[in-house]
Structures are given as structure tokens and as C-alpha cells.
Amino acid sequence: MSDILILNESNYAQVTGAGTVAVDFYADWCGPCKMMAPIFDEAKDAYDGKVTFCKLNVDEAKSIAMENKVLGIPTLLFFKDGQIVDRVTGVIDKPTLYAKLDAIV
């Protein structure tokens, strides 16, 4: 079982540049982000070995959030070989998250 990777300015491009990656853009003070966290964490276990799960704190990496047009949090971006293939803003339930992941693996 792999851990959720913490992304920052120095590793973002490398991690999202290859394979299937899900990134949770969040902030520590964000209530909806705290609601999304256990759902995202459970998906990490279910898709272990198929999807790389990452979190990016928008307060610590504002330029990456702006570059990806993240205007609200939580925002989940789904990457396939370096390209954003899907995105969702706001809290989503487990079946919706799993459906999005199934579509990209």
C-alpha cells in the first residue's frame, strides 16, 4: 500500500508527467477538503498500483494552483501521461470518485 504523495513546486511536474495520477488540491483550513480526505484516502487503497494519489496544498503552491485554474477547493485533477483528462471541484462521494478513476485506468 503506497502513501499519498505530497506535491510541491519541485516535484509536481515530474510526478504528474507520467502514468495515471489523481491530485487533490486542498488547504488545511478548508472544511470541505477535510470531508474529501477520507474518501480520497480510501480510493488510494482501492487503486493501489494503478493510480498515483497526491495532495497539493494551494497555500504552499499558489503558482501551480493558478497554472491549473484551480479557483475553488477541494479540486481533484486527474492526469493521464501528463495531460489533465478530468477535473472536479467540490466534495464528491465515493461512487463518483471511483467512476472517474475507472474511466482513466
The CATH architecture that domain 5-104 belongs to is 3-Layer(aba) Sandwich (3.40)
The pLDDT-based confidence of 33 (bands split at 50, 70, 90) is very high
pLDDT score for 3: 87
Contact in structure between 54 and 21 (CB atoms under 8 Å): yes
Location of C-alpha cell 471541484: 89
Mean pLDDT over residues 30-49, rounded? Answer: 95
54 annotated active-site: no
Residue 39 has φ and ψ, to the nearest 5°, of: -70, -45
Which residue out of 22, 23, 33, 39 is catalytically annotated?
Answer: 33
Nearest residue to 27 (alpha-carbon basis) of 62, 78, 66, 51: 62
Contact in structure between 50 and 20 (CB atoms under 8 Å): yes
The burial class, CB within 10 Å (0-12 / 13-18 / 19+), for 82 is exposed
pLDDT score for 2: 65
What's this model's pTM, rounded to 2 decimal places? 0.95
Residue 104 has φ and ψ, to the nearest 5°, of: -110, -10
Number of residues written out for the chain: 105
pLDDT score for 12: 96
Which residue out of 30, 39, 51, 65 is catalytically annotated?
Answer: 30
- The domain spans of the chain are 5-104
Which has more confidence, 2 or 6?
6
3-state SS, residue 50: coil
33 annotated active-site: yes
